[in-house]
């Protein structure tokens, strides 16, 4: 029996980690292994997943080199070989790619001779930040935070990465939808269908939660033929052969399922050519971490990080902060200028506060100066 593998992808800040945290908590008896890949110097997402999974014995493996699709040999395959050595102790593998990675090279790597006898791709899931999609923030030519002139050519990379994540998806998760109307959801679905008409299912994630049955144990690739070449230059998979009768059309009251399903579609194929992305042609994507030994005021820090996104081309920020009088770490997550915080009940207050910033040519010294200006503390 092969171990099923679910690949979770999605652009920066789409909510992949939050979604996976929910899945871990819903499956305390399932022996899960999670591979988390981050584009940043500090493993914030890995820490959050460890916190969510520590009570149910989930094992977390960090793949730190920024983009899993560029490091399958160095990072991905060695971890899979470790799991392979004790395959009877693992029920399912979840792989969270970084927001700037593509799933196709990982899909191909699962067919490599070293590991294909023991692992089977179950499904590829792409998580979408619906408010950002509807606002046009993921479109080619959309404004870039901090850009004073017309959007530079690199914006095409944003749209291209999301497009390729969608084209490789079996399931698309519409996330961050709690305050959206039905018309807005339909508009989001139409926008996704326009980009990737062969996506099989679209599900709704209310409060970033999803029924496990909608994203794990789907067996969507069980009948996929072997790759054309040993290290995968061509990968094809067919449609879902049979689906429950009650899910073969949209259902009026879809919230009862935390999602909705659409009928199976024609087979589609993924080419290795999708790997031609920003790492080869657009080296401007950067990440850096800024830290301070001084405690922070939560609301002031939120305002500072939001202001950074307004003045600098920063698309994503995440980190932990120490707050006076609080025994637990403040977790900070930001997409552009939208900043959210909460206290992690499993993570004690850190000795220093740190925030990872990800963007296109952001200026580290200017970001540090903005933080200093608003928080009154020194960041470096």
Q: Domains in the chain and their CATH numbers?
A: 3-278 (3.40.50.300), 284-375 (3.30.1220.10)
**Average confidence (pLDDT) per 10 residues, the chain, 380 residues:** 92 85 80 76 50 60 61 73 90 87 85 91 93 83 51 57 89 92 90 89 86 86 56 33 33 36 35 38 68 95 92 85 92 85 83 86 90 96
What confidence score (pLDDT) does residue 47 get? 60
How many C-beta atoms surround the C-beta of residue 208 within 10 A?
Answer: 19
In 3D space, the residue among 11, 34, 108, 118 whose CA is nearest the CA of residue 69 turns out to be 108
Residue 74 confidence (pLDDT):
62
The pLDDT, as a whole number, for residue 271 is 35
Tokens of 297: 């005021």
Contacts of 304 (CB under 8 A, 6+ apart): 370, 371, 373, 374, 375
- Burial of 139 from C-beta contacts in 10 A (0-12 / 13-18 / 19+): middle
pLDDT value of position 324: 94
- Is the pTM higher than 0.75? The answer reads no
Q: How far apart are CA 332 and CA 357, in angstroms?
A: 11
| φ, ψ of residue 217 in degrees (nearest 5) | 75, 35
Length of the chain, in residues: 380
Quote the pLDDT of residue 5. 95
**Tell me, what's the pLDDT at 250?**
34
pLDDT at 234 (0 to 100): 32
Q: What is the rounded distance in angstroms from the CA atom of residue 110 to the CA atom of residue 108? A: 5
For residue 328, the surrounding DSSP H or E stretch is strand 328-335
- C-alpha closest to that of 308 among 375, 378, 371, 376: 371
Confidence at residue 64, expressed as pLDDT on a 0 to 100 scale: 63
């Amino acid at each position: 029996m092969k171990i099923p593998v679910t690949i979770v992808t999605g652009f920066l800040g789409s909510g992949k980690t939050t979604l996976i945290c929910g899945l871990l908590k819903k499956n305390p008896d399932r022996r899960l292994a999670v591979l988390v890949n981050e584009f940043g110097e500090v493993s914030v997402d890995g820490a959050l997943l460890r916190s969510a999974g520590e009570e149910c014995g989930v094992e977390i493996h960090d793949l730190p080199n920024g983009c899993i699709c560029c490091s399958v040999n160095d990072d991905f395959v060695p971890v899979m070989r470790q799991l392979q050595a004790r395959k009877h102790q693992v029920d399912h593998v979840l792989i969270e790619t970084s927001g700037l990675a593509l799933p196709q090279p990982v899909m191909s790597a699962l067919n490599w001779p070293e590991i294909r006898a023991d692992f089977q791709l179950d499904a590829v899931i792409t998580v979408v930040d619906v408010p950002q999609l509807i606002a046009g923030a993921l479109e080619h030519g959309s404004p870039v935070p901090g850009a004073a002139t017309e959007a530079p050519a690199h914006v095409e990379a944003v749209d291209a990465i999301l497009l390729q994540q969608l084209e490789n998806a079996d399931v698309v998760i519409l996330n961050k939808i709690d305050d959206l109307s039905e018309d807005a959801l339909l508009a989001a679905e139409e926008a996704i269908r326009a980009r990737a008409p062969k996506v099989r299912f679209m599900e709704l994630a209310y409060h970033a939660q999803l029924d496990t049955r909608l994203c794990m144990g789907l067996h969507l690739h069980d009948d996929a033929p072997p790759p054309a070449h040993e290290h995968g230059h061509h990968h094809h998979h067919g449609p879902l052969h049979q689906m429950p009768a009650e899910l073969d059309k949209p259902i009026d009251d879809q919230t009862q399922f935390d999602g909705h399903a659409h009928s199976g579609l024609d087979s589609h194929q993924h080419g290795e050519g999708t790997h031609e992305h920003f790492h080869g042609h657009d080296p401007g994507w950067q990440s850096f971490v800024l830290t301070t030994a001084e405690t922070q005021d939560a609301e002031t820090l939120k305002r500072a990080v939001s202001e950074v996104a307004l003045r600098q081309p920063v698309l994503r920020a995440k980190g932990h902060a120490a707050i006076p009088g609080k025994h637990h770490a403040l977790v900070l997550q930001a997409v552009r200028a939208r900043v959210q915080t909460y206290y992690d009940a499993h993570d004690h207050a850190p000795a220093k506060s740190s925030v990872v910033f990800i963007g296109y040519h952001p200026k580290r010294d200017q970001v540090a100066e903005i933080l200093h200006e608003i928080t009154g503390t020194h960041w470096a």
